[in-house]
């Protein structure tokens, strides 16, 4: 969160499981700093309640772990092609 305050990022990739704070809470705090911040959520738990929360906040999509290179690349492409987070984007890119 501190890094986002100091430097703009085109896209964040956030894991749901981090030391001391989860990805949904991290993204919520980042949204307070930059409401238009794009993010991809990584999760070993397909569509958990916390993943759904991050998506409601505006995260572009999520990628299930273990991560396949093609899935992450599709998610990054999708994030940059979209005009922002929306319900149409809120699905695992592994399903493609």
> At 23, is the secondary structure helix, strand, or coil?
helix
pTM value is 0.75
Q: Which CATH number fits domain 2-95: 3.40.50.2300, 3.30.479.30, 1.10.10.10, 2.30.40.10?
A: 3.40.50.2300
pLDDT at 52: 87
Structure tokens at 28: 């919520």
- Measured from the Cβ of residue 54, the count of other Cβ atoms closer than 10 Å reads 28
Place of tokens 């738990």: 45
Q: Omega into 66 within 30° of 0, i.e. cis?
A: yes
Q: pLDDT per residue over 57-92, tens digit each? A: 889 988 989 999 899 999 999 999 976 543 334 444
pLDDT at 94: 53
pLDDT tens digits for range 3-26: 999 988 999 999 988 888 888 899
Instruction: Give the model's pLDDT for residue 85.
Output: 44
Residue bearing tokens 């990628």: 63
């Amino acid at each position: 969160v501190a890094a986002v305050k100091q430097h703009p990022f085109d896209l964040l990739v956030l894991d749901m499981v981090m030391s001391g704070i989860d990805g949904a809470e991290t993204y919520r705090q980042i949204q307070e700093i930059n409401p238009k911040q794009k993010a991809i959520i990584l999760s070993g738990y397909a569509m958990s309640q916390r993943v759904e929360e991050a998506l409601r906040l505006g995260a572009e999509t999520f990628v299930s772990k273990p991560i396949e290179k093609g899935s992450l690349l599709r998610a990054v492409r999708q994030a940059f092609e979209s005009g922002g987070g929306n319900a149409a984007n809120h699905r695992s890119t592994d399903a493609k």
